[in-house]
Amino acid sequence: MTRILMVCLGNICRSPLAHGILESKLNSSEFYVDSAGTAAYHVGHQPDSRSIQIAKNNGINISHQTARQFKVSDFDRFDYIYAMDASNYTNIISLARNNSDIGKVKLFLEENPNVSNKNVPDPYYGEMSDFEYVFDLIKDTSIIIAKRLLED
């Protein structure tokens, strides 16, 4: 089983989308996908209604997801830890215990050679159009990641 964790700040907007989209592209008997936030603001909450809606419009149900905070034991439980932006990356790395932990963490958009800005923009204070933009960016990148995982 290969285990992949998507991480943003609140675990209600970006990482639930990355979690649901990548999960939809992989076989659950071989791949486990989860998500978490570096902050605890929204622990126990459903994803933001706008993330639920944009996912639903694209045939993906993320409404059953529940926000949780990233924890040090996630370094042991996951093979790949993807940060949605540089700030999330720094927050995760600050909890790393050793080089093995650090080596598991990558910026999500580092996997996408077609984009130069490696931060998935935070749509929380934005409009539905920002969620649409983020959905497409995450979908395109998830296709690349799934293809790579299936080749390994």
- Contact residues for ligand 4NP (CB under 6 A)? 8-14, 37, 41, 122, 124
Minimum distance, C-beta of residue 105 to ligand 4NP, in the bound complex (Å): 16
12 near 51, Cβ under 8 Å?
yes
**Would residue 8 show up in a list of annotated catalytic residues for this protein?**
yes
Cβ neighbourhood burial of 116 (10 Å; 0-12, 13-18, 19+): exposed
**Would residue 13 show up in a list of annotated catalytic residues for this protein?**
no
Instruction: Please give the residue whose beta carbon sits closest to ligand 4NP in the complex.
Output: 10
Minimum distance, C-beta of residue 98 to ligand 4NP, in the bound complex (Å): 26
Task: State how far the Cα of 146 lies from the Cα of 21, in Å rounded to an integer.
Answer: 10
**Would residue 14 show up in a list of annotated catalytic residues for this protein?**
yes
Q: Which is nearer to ligand 4NP, 2 or 61 (CB)?
A: 61
13 near 48, Cβ under 8 Å?
yes
What residues are annotated to the active site?
8, 14, 122
